[in-house]
Every structure is written in C-alpha cells, then in structure tokens.
Amino acid sequence: MATITAAMVKELRDKTGAGMMDCKQALNETNGDMEAAVDWLRKKGLSKAAKKAGRVAAEGLIGVVVEGTKGAMVEVNSETDFVARNDQFQGLVKMVAQVALKTGSDVEAIKAAKVGSATVENAIADAIATIGENMSLRRAAVLSVNAGVVASYVHSAVFDGLGKIGVIVALESSGKADELASLGRQIAMHIAAANPQAIDAAGLDPQVVSREKDILADKYRQQGKPENVIEKIVESGLKTYYKEVCLLEQAFIHDSGKSVAQAIKEAEGKVGGPVKIAGFVRYALGEGIEKQESDFAAEVAAASGQKAAG
C-alpha cells in the first residue's frame, strides 16, 4: 500500500478542485497513482468543479445567524450576482452560517463539518456542479458573550440574514435583553455605514497608527514646521483620525450630535445596567478580492479570431 502524503492530496486537489477527504480517498483507492486518482474522481462526479475553479468568485452573499448570546457570519462567493438570487445558493449560505455557529470561525473546520451524510465542502461542490459557477467559502466569524446579546444587521438584504454587507456586534451587559437587542441593532447599522476599524484606539494595528503618524509628520515637515510643533500637530491629527476610525469615538449615525460612546452611556438607563461592546465584525461582499475586468468586445473578437477595434 502506497503512503499517501499531504503533498499528494494537495496536488490532486489543485488538479481537480475536489474536496480534501475525497482526494485522500481517491489516492487510497488507486494506491497513490495520481492520474488514476483523477479518473476515479471524475467517474464519481467529484471533479466537476475543477473547470470552474480558476474563475474569480467575487459576488455571492454574506450570511448572518444569531441565537441569543452567540452570532456567526460567513461570506460565500460566487462568480455572478445572478447566483445570489438563486434559492439553492441562498439555502447553501444559510446552512453554512448555521454550521459556523456550532463549529466556530475556522473555514477548514466548517468545510469538514458534516450536514447529514455529507460535508459542507461536498455541499459546495454539489452546488458548483448544479448551478455551474465557481463558489467558495471565503471567511467566517463567530462572536459570543456570557451575559448580554449578539446583535446583527444585514444591508441590501435579499432574504432574512442574507445580503451584501453584514455586521455582528457583541454587547456585554446584565441589563434587559430586549433593550440591549434594540441598541445592538442600532450599533450594528452604524458599523455597516461608518465602517470603523476598531472599538477604540487601543484596538488599532500599531503599524497603521505609526504610518498615520509618519504621513502627518512628513506633511508638516515639508511645510517647514519645527519638530516640537510637528509633535503637537501630529498628536492633534491622531485624535481626529481616531474619531474617524474608532467605533466609540465616531459620530453616531442615528444622532450625529453625540459619539457612539455617549449614545451607549445614555442607553444604559433604559437597559438597566452598564453596556460594553465586547467585539464586532463587519463583512462587505468581495472586499479585497481582485476582480477580473472583462472587455466584452475583446472577448467576442478573440472568439472569432479577430482583433477588437481600437
């Protein structure tokens, strides 16, 4: 019996687009023969996704599910926006979000999780084969609190809990759950609109803050300002920057006359106790994915063996 290595499984997966466990089984069944394993997968219909695997999947849906003190959010990508309106795809995204709620935020663990007799990875491969587009589970996030609520908001929703921008926010409090949920939804809507980078300055990436400092300092150096003055201007500039990117310091979208921190403080009377934001996650569909720009005229010309008109 041939020894099946992780590198062999990866190579077969790259060739076929089939799931890791299916690739391992194929290699075991064919005694490590790579080409025979490819054929084995094809006969089983498990490499149907291979042709689609090279295409950029930057559309799709954000899926959100919340149950009391726990919430999960996933991004499942497809190639076209049209697929986001497909009932099967919507059902797939909902199912993946439910699995994430139980399994956690590790994408590989979610894909390996069983739903009935099949894995999530199998379910995605089946959807690719049926719908005819490349799809992928890109990322997942889970938040929970011991006491309080996890609230959510989905922008541009195509169905309950499915849309283009998703937010989950965890509020820690021993106060009234209904008032907390209402406050949490308002804050989640704010996060969707204002896109904060962290809860407060302490949560910002130190490299990002350092870069911001350097940009500000260089700007005033070029204006000929002395170093001791630059230091004060930079500190002032950072405070302005924090108001732009830190959740608690941002102007609250529901009442721009107060900060989010002030809005929370005011709400504590209704809630009946202190409220702390324990964490938040905001996903915008396709952010950071390199989308291929399509030149339709060039594609048609290439198909007909001609050059596109300039």
User: In CATH, what number is assigned to the domain containing residue 80?
Assistant: 3.30.479.20
> Same structural domain for residues 64 and 105?
yes
Q: Does residue 11 sit within a domain?
A: yes
Low-confidence ranges of the chain (pLDDT < 50): 49-51, 53-54, 292-296, 299, 304, 306-310
> Same structural domain for residues 107 and 148?
yes
> Same structural domain for residues 63 and 188?
yes
Q: Does residue 115 sit within a domain?
A: yes
Task: Give the pairing of strands 118-119 and 148-155.
Answer: unpaired
> Same structural domain for residues 64 and 187?
yes
CA-based Rg of the chain, rounded to a whole angstrom? 25
Q: What angle do CA 256, 195, 252 make, to 5 degrees?
A: 15
Query: What's the pLDDT score for residue 19?
Result: 76
Identify whether the C-beta of residue 129 lies closer than 8 Å to the C-beta of residue 145.
no
> Same structural domain for residues 177 and 77?
yes
d(C-alpha 93, C-alpha 157), whole Å: 13
Q: Does residue 290 sit within a domain?
A: no
Query: What's the pLDDT score for residue 45?
Result: 64
* Count of H-run helices and E-run strands, the chain: 11, 11
> Same structural domain for residues 133 and 65?
yes
Identify whether the C-beta of residue 247 lies closer than 8 Å to the C-beta of residue 184.
no
> Same structural domain for residues 178 and 98?
yes
pTM confidence score: 0.74
> Same structural domain for residues 104 and 148?
yes
> Same structural domain for residues 210 and 241?
yes
Closest CA to 244 of 232, 254, 265, 259: 259
Query: What's the pLDDT score for residue 308?
Result: 45
Owner of token pair 């609230």: 151
Q: Does residue 250 sit within a domain?
A: no
Q: Does residue 298 sit within a domain?
A: no
Query: What's the pLDDT score for residue 147?
Result: 95
Q: Does residue 294 sit within a domain?
A: no
Q: Does residue 135 sit within a domain?
A: yes
> Same structural domain for residues 43 and 109?
no
> Same structural domain for residues 212 and 176?
no
Owner of token pair 């996704």: 49
> Same structural domain for residues 12 and 42?
yes
Write the pLDDT tens digit of every residue in 182-198. Answer: 999 999 999 999 999 99
Tell me how many domains the chain contains. 3
Q: Does residue 200 sit within a domain?
A: no
Write the pLDDT tens digit of every residue in 50-59. Answer: 445 445 557 8
Domain residues for the domain of 110 are 59-192+279-284
